[in-house]
A and B are shown apart, each in its own frame.
Chain A
């Protein structure tokens, strides 16, 4: 009886854990998108007012970032070593390498990928336009998520617990 109770408890805790993990990931995604927004705004002003080159601007972002430090550092290193025919080449390689370490979803990665295609070429105005494009897209996504995320967090947590209970009922039956 004791063993059965422990097993049931383990199932409920396990399923709840998955639910809580999912909720945490969603929260982290929101935080990471917010950080990207702040970093890109910073980069915008570095390029606009300081005429900073990419290596310099991204190095500054790496120093300021909490979630994307390794990603930006990788790009800076690759730029420094001139590893890549163009900036997009470097951007996409770093993005592929570090995407798993982030909580960003495929749609967020696609947006960053699109940004990399536009960035690093032509004149300063083009860089600013690319950053503005990203910031606008990101803002829309953030607004959309802001309304959605609290509900999702509650949903994931609830679903985790419910799934655990359901599984126990099924196993007991």
Chain B
């Protein structure tokens, strides 16, 4: 944990770093660092939001310095990520970027004049999926599962830990880590513990990655985060029809909501997922309910 947070702090511009360090906030409680030109520094913690040294306003230089550090003086190497509006740091921390968009023929080509950053700190919580494992594996049989949760409810953390446990238990797992958030790869090497039998395809679009891994690594289980595009659903259906099990996450609040979504509806109706695990934000890593392939509640939080 210490190693991770050090890497987050060291990418902050010197003045911002001084302010964050002067707050003396418990590192485990820190969730987000928000930096906006002309505004005070904003820290989101598990206990609420803080504006340390409110009189100090972030300037352009603070953002530029932070960007230099984030990219290790190689912002050009992150053009593709910037187009998507975020960068991923070693350790899986995600930096959201906001500024002026550069369009070419109606397509977003770049973001310039960056004026705001949101650093979301990844927390690996070893063992957070302990209670879920019996629902994902029965003897040697694996079940495909869909984690449904709103932003910030810990679905990536839960997915990572489930992958770690299943992998350590002998299942061959492939992670398609489009945004480098699950395994937190740095130069292709996972920085998070994702288990001994896990292969990670980093920074690859999910749909393409799932088919590629299916062909090349023969996984028993494929893990993907935040499915949403039409091609993601098609690829999911293809790999599951090939007999490979899938652990996937999706933004949402309930099972019923998923049944109304355009592409997800089809997957739910044909019962491709054996488990639907709904998480809630009320408390971190709090499972609200678990449903079977027919949508019947098999476990519910009291």
Q: Is the CB of A120 within 8 A of B73?
A: yes
**Closest Cβ–Cβ distance, residue A63 to chain B (whole Å):** 14
Is B77 within 8 A of A126, CB to CB? no
Contact B65 A85, beta carbon cutoff 8 Å = yes
- Give A52 to B187 CA distance when docked, in angstroms: 10
Within 8 A of B (CB), among A58-90: 79-80, 82, 84-87, 90
Is residue B71 contacting chain A, with contact meaning CB distance below 8 A? yes
Q: Which residue of B lies closest to A85 (CB)?
A: B65
Q: How far is the CA of A90 from the CA of B65 in the complex (A)?
A: 14
Q: Is the CB of B77 within 8 A of A52?
A: yes
Alpha-carbon separation in the docked complex, A51 to B78 (Å): 8
Asked if B73 and A124 make an inter-chain contact with CB atoms under 8 angstroms apart, the answer reads no
Which B-chain residue is minimally distant from A56 (CB atoms)?
B187
Chain A residues with CB below 8 A from B76, complex form: 47, 120-124, 126-127
Q: 1/0 contact trace for B133-166 toward A, CB 8 Å? A: 0000000000000000000000000000000000
Report yes or no: A53 in contact with B69, Cβ–Cβ below 8 A: no
Interface band, chain B: 10 to 19
CB-based A-B contact count at 8 angstroms: 48
Given A82-B10, A124-B79, A55 contacting B74 (CB threshold 8 A): yes
- Bound CA–CA A90/B80 (angstroms): 26
B126 in contact (CB, < 8 A):
no
- Considering only CB atoms, which chain B residue lies closest to A90 in the complex? B73
Q: B216 → chain A, closest Cβ, in Å?
A: 20
**Which DSSP category, helix, strand, loop or mixed, fits chain B's interface?**
helix
User: Is A95 part of the contact surface with B, judged by Cβ < 8 Å?
Assistant: no
Contacts of B79 in A (CB 8 A): 51, 123-124
Interface string of B53-90 (1 = CB under 8 A from A): 00000000000010011011111110110000000000
Residues of B within 8 A of A168 (CB): none
A54 located at the interface, meaning its Cβ lies under 8 Å from any Cβ of chain B in the complex: yes
Evaluate whether A54 and B110 lie within 8 angstroms (CB atoms) in the complex, with A85-B65, A123-B79, A124-B79 already known.
Answer: no
A selection of 11 A-B contacts at a CB cut-off of 8 Å is A51-B77, A51-B80, A53-B77, A54-B74, A54-B77, A82-B10, A82-B69, A82-B72, A120-B73, A121-B75, A123-B110
Could you list 20 further interchain pairs (A-B, Cβ under 8 angstroms) beyond the known A52-B77, A53-B71?
A: A47-B77, A51-B77, A51-B79, A53-B72, A55-B72, A55-B73, A56-B187, A79-B73, A82-B69, A84-B73, A85-B68, A86-B68, A87-B73, A122-B75, A122-B76, A123-B79, A123-B110, A124-B76, A124-B77, A127-B76
Q: Which 9 pairs from chain A and chain B are nearest by CB?
A: A53-B74, A87-B73, A53-B77, A54-B74, A124-B76, A123-B76, A120-B73, A82-B69, A55-B72
